[in-house]
Structure 1
Amino acid sequence: MKVAQKVFLVDDDPAIRASLKFSFELEGFEVVEFADAETIAEHAPSLGGGCLVIDYRLPGMNGLALLALLRMQGVTLPAVVITSNPTRQVRQAVADAKAVLIEKPLLCDALTAAIRSLISSTEMSLPVDLTQ
């Protein structure tokens, strides 16, 4: 039996979280939801593998500030930042953070495809134990 890949979803809008969670679960992902940056930051040491999906516009700190904080806490998960109408500066900051930017409204399967690609790339870069 294949283990579901995890998506750590951070968005303060309960309707968007519910919608994305439903969509991701239909695609076979296990979703762990967070309503704010502070809560996921508290759980950073126990996140494990998967992919981060972070809304740029969060109360308190924005999604890029959260991503920087998580990186300082040792979280190396690939990340997708979602937002509507990103400025050129936001686009550049997301690229500099080595994250993927997906614009809202989330059309087609761009977000799911980005998550699958990031997780696949991360898994391929892990060392392989040939002794088993």
Structure 2
Amino acid sequence: MALETRTPTPAPLILLIEDDASVREALTFALTIDGFRVEVHESAERLLEQADLPAPACLVLDHHLPGTPGADALARFRELGLACPAILITTQPKPEVRAAAARLGARILEKPLLGGELPAAIREMLAG
């Protein structure tokens, strides 16, 4: 009887854009423990400057980034053809932020994030 070999499916790639180092580390840890690969960026500008954007399963952005706010960065990513699910993390989002997120097909999660809220939201979005 021959043994069947399976090629492991790579873990979904999450692009995380968060300027706060402690939040970035906590989210990276939580997402990695939950089985995701995480590519971390401190700002949207640096990622937008790359010639080739990675192909993530999901984009997670803090809205209150220095320079380009998360919703504006997401609009730019969409213009560049990044159509993956997206989550905008923010505190007390204003109506215009909610409208921008809806227009861009992004989900808003409000800080503080509790328990496994972010990984659960990503899994839900990836499931379709």
Q: Do they superpose with TM above 0.5?
A: yes
* 1:116 corresponds to which of 95, 99, 123: 123
* 2:13 corresponds to which of 6, 11, 16: 6
Change (3 A) 1:30 1:96: same
Q: Which residue of 2 aligns with 1:47?
A: 54
Query: Structure 2: where are the runs of 5+ without partners?
Result: 1-7
Does residue 30 of structure 2 align to residue 20 of structure 1? no
Taking structure 2 as the reference length, what is the TM-score of the superposition? 0.88
Q: Which residue of 2 aligns with 1:84?
A: 91
CA RMSD of aligned residues (A): 1.3
Runs of 4+ in 1 over 2 A off after TM superposition: 42-46
Taking structure 1 as the reference length, what is the TM-score of the superposition? 0.86
One-letter identity of the residue aligned with 2:23: I
Query: Structure 1: where are the runs of 5+ without partners?
Result: 122-132
Q: Which residue of 1 aligns with 2:4?
A: none
- Contact 1:45/1:73 (<8 A) preserved: no
How far, CA to CA, are the matches of 1:44 and 1:74 in structure 2? 13
How far, CA to CA, are the matches of 1:44 and 1:88 in structure 2? 33
* 2:68 corresponds to which of 44, 61, 67: 61
Pairwise CA distance, 1:8 = 0.2
Give percent identity, aligned residues only: 38
Compare CA radii of gyration and give the structure with the larger one: 2
How far, CA to CA, are the matches of 1:49 and 1:93 in structure 2? 21
**Bigger proportion of residues as helix:** 1
* 2:113 corresponds to which of 106, 112, 115: 106
Deviations 1:5-38 (A, max 9, x none): 1110001111111010000000000000000011
Change (3 A) 1:91 1:52: same
